[in-house]
Amino acid sequence: MQIHVVQQGDSVYSIADLYDSTPTDIIEANELETPGDLVIGQALVIPIVGQFYYVQEGDSLSTIAQQFNTTAEKLAQVNGISKDSSLPVGLRLYIPEQPPSPITANAYIEPYGGEVSDTLQSSAENRAAKLTYLAPFSYEIQEDGSLKPPPLDNFKEIAEKNDATLMMVVTNLAEEGFSDELSRKILESDSLQNTLLDNIIQTTKELGFKDVHFDMEFLPPDMKESYNQFLRKAKKRLSNEGLLMSTALAPKSSADQKGAWYEAHDYKAHGEIVDFVVLMTYEWGYSGGPPRAVAPIGPVTEVVDFALSVMPADKILLGQNLYGYDWTLPYEPGGEFAKAVSPQRAIQIARENNVEISYDEKEQAPYFTYTSSSGEKHEVWFEDARSIQKKFDLIKDRGLLGISYWKLGLAFPQNWVLLENQFSITKS
């Protein structure tokens, strides 16, 4: 698979000719709605066997081989050059296809308004084959230890048809958001915890969930050990029922990181207790904050490396957003929130406003600015094939268990093409 960034004068025909592909394959892989009107700076995935690499300053066959998990000898052989050849900058080398790496892939899916929309239904049907877990969001804990379920429609049948496993996501969400008051009430009462676990186990038996996933956010800082103790109790009971247990963790880069989202999440304890964790490595750029990449590679890597210092790599799913944000400028704290957009929609906005897409090498994320028809200035940050490839490279380099997507229903075709090309998805 090749990633190509559209340049001035490119067309699907010239790009197909460059990589010995076909316009149809490119259009289908990228779900191009206007193939005759590409956006400069737009990243496309090109379906070919293997890929091409253009030599950069300082490269050698050895360093390139290391980057692509092959050998200098093999690269020399397939490209018909000497192993000791000097490589001029800009030389195009063919990189043979590598065997896919096995990973676990999860995706949350969040119905709205008490029902599953056609878009969510279609997304679940189209993507479940590429998932280990399908995670309806969410079962909300009630004050009496009961559970308010999400609409499930036919998610169970979709999962079974695609050999995916249903993940039961349990949260402390209330009408006002994640509730610290509710969390304290549950975590300070053994009887409520027992009732909650009874209801969770009963639900797994009725609906076929195989993993129970606790996403308890914004817990009071003094509840850290109480949460740990609850997880230990839950793990014992769930294991007795043959169930897996996992947790979602706020993106911490140190054990003592301050903030309401972070303090009660004990990475070391979770790594010891649960079967795996999801690192929520996104929302550096968020709807209520200033424009920035949602998941910049530097901070994401810092979180991963901290997690690896206290838990094994084979317990870590890297969180990955399937969305970006469109901010109205100038940004003002407490002002208008940014609008969430899918990567596919972001490209449409750039096309509609006739602007080029730029790429921030430090953040490893695409962005652009535009002026709306009403004269408002906007800044958009999103994900593309290049940014997702950097996350895939991080998963491979650190030997992580896999990836967890927030959330299905947002169009990002390049992600799924690259995922399928580079990984074999473990099925439970």
* Residues annotated catalytic, as ranges: 217
DSSP string, 42-65: -EEEE--SSEEEE--TT--HHHHH
Looking from the CA of 246 toward its CB, the CA atoms found within 13 Å total 25
Among candidates 205, 207, 223, 242, which has minimal Cα distance to 135? 207
The two tokens of residue 338 are 């940014």
Asked if residue 149 lies in contact with residue 161, where contact means CB atoms within 8 angstroms, the answer is no
Task: Name the 3-class secondary structure at 101.
Answer: strand
Beta bridge partner(s), residue 426 = none
Cα 155 to Cα 105, 127, 338, 425: the distances in Å are 16, 12, 30, 19
What is the rounded CA–CA span in Å between residue 81 and residue 77?
Answer: 7
Evaluate whether 7 touches 390 at the Cβ level (below 8 Å).
no
CA dist 318 → 1, 10, 68, 279, 334 (Å): 22, 34, 21, 5, 30
Cα(404)–Cα(413) distance, integer angstroms: 16
For residue 27, how many other CB atoms are within 10 A of its CB? Answer: 15
* DSSP notation for 261-329: TTTT--HHHHHHHSSEEEE----SS-TTS-S--SS-HHHHHHHHHHHHHHS-GGGEEEEEES-EEEEEE
- Cβ 305 vs Cβ 297: under 8 Å: no
